[in-house]
Structure 1
Amino acid sequence: MLDDRKLDVLKAIVTDYVASREPVGSKALVERHQLKVSAATVRNDMAALEEEGYITQPHTSAGRIPTDKGYRLFVDRLAQIKPLSQAERVAITSFMNGTADIDDLVGRTVRLLAQLTRQVAIVQYPVAQRDEVRHVDLVPLTLDRMLVIVVSSSGRVDQTMVEGPVLAEQSLTTLRQQVAAAVVGRSTADAATALSGFLDSMAPMDRAIIAPIIASVLETIAAKPAAHVLVAGVPNLAGAEFETNLRPLLEALEEQVVLMRLLGEAAGDDVTVRIGQENTTLGFHATSLVAAGYGSDLQASLGVVGPTRMDYPSTIAAVRAVARYVSRFLNEG
């Protein structure tokens, strides 16, 4: 177990190294931090921290840098989450206001996270565990083509094209109202059940025209969103200290399955931090992941990936704030 003084020294090393990217020496720590001990005492503490595996010396005559173990202790016991500034809170609100649908929401979220953290942002599309039909519409495009539109409670918009004769305006209006009455406000499963016997109430002469429309509505309601993620901020990796690990990381960032696994490992109600080798996903062993789940009945995650030399307090605060904002937007929607 480390005493409070050694913990203070470790905290100072992490803070200075994240800010400067340079190995930290004992003299610098004494000058920049109110440790209230001599440089010799700090050197002894640094030697003890190195022996315990919390810091390391990258080369002879250099200062010390934190190890994955040191960052983990910093995050778990030493880091104080920085509150977002007023400007950052306003930026989140203004950036996300006016969101149109789920695609727009995810797109705005991934760009916002990349800007706030200056890291690579990853946002998983939400998949509702109990999605409801919020709106359905039948839009004639030509005399023999119609567009079926279904909007779900998660904000997802699905469209299906129907080929065939289009009903007269009054008949189409009546059908639109009947379909909406049957499905709006129901879960997708219940809506599909309600439509299964829909044609039985139709006049035989109308069924041939209406059947393809109802089939398309059923197909659209039952459509499952593909599980995938959006990525933004890859240029933020420029200058990061990945050395030979950069190429595997870039390749991993292009693989949807890999990213889904990465976020899945860190899924949770609150912010999860995975540091270095704690990331078992290939390509991410030299990175840190800060992620959080979002939504209430939605199973999805968002987060950022960057070097282990990361400003953890600020990054954790940003990820948490954005996840809570997106959750609130989805719940209110």
Structure 2
Amino acid sequence: MVSARGLDVLRVIVQDYVATREPVGSKSVVERHSFGVSAATIRNDMVLLEDEELITAPHTSSGRVPTDKGYRVFVDQLADLRPLTSAQRQAIESFLGQADDLDDVLARTVRMLSQLTNSVAMVQYPSLATARVRHIELVPLSASRIMTVFITDSGRVEQRLIDVSEPLDDVFLGEMRAKLNSALMGQSLPDAAESLTRFAEIFPVERQPIVSQIASSLVEQVLANRHDKLVLAGTANLARTEQDFAGSIFPVLEAIEEQVTLLRLFGEMQVTSGSVSTRIGRENAEFGLEETSVVTGGYSSSGGDVARLGVLGPTRMDYSNNMAAVRAVARYLSRLLEEN
């Protein structure tokens, strides 16, 4: 059974090791922190922590470093989620507030998160399971080319260029735009796709081929599966922490490149909007990421669905800072998307 002081010793061992990358000894604990006891007493506390497999000695006669179990106890019981500074909060609000659409918002989100944490940042596109049609726009670019713009209530914007088989005048294009929005606005995506397959039938026979061409393109936009896509930034941060990996970092890089592994891992981490979850070291062994930790938070879109964002790095990471950063960015992203 670890005493309250023993847990405090574990806390400073984690914090000092994360800060210095050097094993922590009893003498340095006494010198750096005000425990009011001797180095011998701290040494006894460290023996008990080692017996509980919370710390370990990487080399004979060296200091101690946290184990995966030690990091888990730290995160669950000891981590102090330091609030971000006012400057950091203002930077998040200013940087994300400049985004033009959902793609830009998510790209900016991972860039900001990677800078705040010095880790690989990831954000998942909102699920389209319950998204509904907000608006459809048909923009003439020339006599034979239009751009279709498909917007959902989750903030997703899909654009596509279509080379039409016959010239379209502005009057007919306006009529088609009005009928599309009248028929589809507020529909779920599956229902919208079904409606589009019959949309041409409400037009005169001579107009049906061109309407069908545009409707078919819109069906493809409606059914585009973007909820299983991650946006990432900060992969170069792994190179800066390569010495924290006992083995090769290539399996981690492969998982990042393929995304499927990260999406599976994300899917197993239970989060709600505004909450934070962690998976540490060997907890990620089934994904081949046993030397990494993942901090994940949930954010909600205007459609109410919860998607995930987070950071990935070595187990020797600043959990307090990273958890606070993930939570703060997730909350701001939810607020931004709900407002739009």
Q: TM-score range by the shorter chain?
A: over 0.9
Select between 234-243 and 186-195 the one with higher mean Cα deviation.
186-195
Deviations 1:243-262 (A, max 9, x none): 42312222222111111112
Q: Is residue 332 of structure 2 the alignment partner of residue 325 of structure 1?
A: yes
Structure 2: which amino acid aligns with 1:287?
A: T
Q: Show structure 1 runs of 5+ residues with no match.
A: none
Of residues 254, 258, 278, the one that matches 1:255 is: 258
Match for residue 293 of structure 1? 298
Deviation of residue 41 (structure 1)? 0.6
Deviation of residue 190 (structure 1)? 3.6
Q: Secondary structure at the match of 2:8?
A: helix
Match for residue 5 of structure 1? 5
Contact 1:138–1:176 (CA under 8 A) maintained in structure 2: yes
Structure 2: which amino acid aligns with 1:321?
A: A
Q: Give me the TM-score of the superposition, normalised by structure 2.
A: 0.91
Match for residue 45 of structure 1? 45
Deviations 1:165-200 (A, max 9, x none): 132222222222222222223322343454455444
Contact 1:118–1:236 (CA under 8 A) maintained in structure 2: yes
Deviations 1:184-218 (A, max 9, x none): 23322343454455444323333343332333334
Of residues 276, 284, 288, the one that matches 2:281 is: 276
Select between 92-101 and 289-298 the one with higher mean Cα deviation.
289-298
Q: Tell me the distance in 2 between the aligned counterparts of 1:235 and 1:189.
A: 39
Cα separation, partners in 2 of 1:220 and 1:57, compared to 1, 3 Å? closer
Select between 288-297 and 137-146 the one with higher mean Cα deviation.
137-146
Match for residue 17 of structure 1? 17
Match for residue 84 of structure 1? 84
Moved over 6 A (4+): none
Match for residue 176 of structure 2? 175
Cα separation, partners in 2 of 1:331 and 1:16, compared to 1, 3 Å? same
Match for residue 227 of structure 1? 228
Cα separation, partners in 2 of 1:174 and 1:97, compared to 1, 3 Å? same
Q: Tell me the distance in 1 between the aligned counterparts of 2:226 and 2:253.
A: 26
Contact 1:258–1:281 (CA under 8 A) maintained in structure 2: no
Q: Show structure 2 runs of 5+ residues with no match.
A: none
Q: Tell me the distance in 1 between the aligned counterparts of 2:250 and 2:220.
A: 41
Q: Tell me the distance in 1 between the aligned counterparts of 2:131 and 2:248.
A: 41
Cα separation, partners in 2 of 1:69 and 1:174, compared to 1, 3 Å? same
Deviation of residue 299 (structure 1)? 4.1
Match for residue 131 of structure 1? 131
Match for residue 321 of structure 2? 314
Cα separation, partners in 2 of 1:201 and 1:309, compared to 1, 3 Å? closer
Deviation of residue 264 (structure 1)? 1.5
Alignment length (residue pairs): 333
Select between 8-17 and 262-271 the one with higher mean Cα deviation.
262-271
Q: Give me the TM-score of the superposition, normalised by structure 1.
A: 0.93
Contact 2:199–2:212 (CA under 8 A) maintained in structure 1: no
Q: Tell me the distance in 2 between the aligned counterparts of 1:239 and 1:175.
A: 55
Q: Tell me the distance in 1 between the aligned counterparts of 2:171 and 2:271.
A: 50
Cα separation, partners in 2 of 1:128 and 1:201, compared to 1, 3 Å? closer
Deviation of residue 111 (structure 1)? 0.7
Cα separation, partners in 2 of 1:31 and 1:184, compared to 1, 3 Å? same
Q: Tell me the distance in 1 between the aligned counterparts of 2:309 and 2:246.
A: 26
Cα separation, partners in 2 of 1:107 and 1:135, compared to 1, 3 Å? same
Cα separation, partners in 2 of 1:204 and 1:249, compared to 1, 3 Å? closer
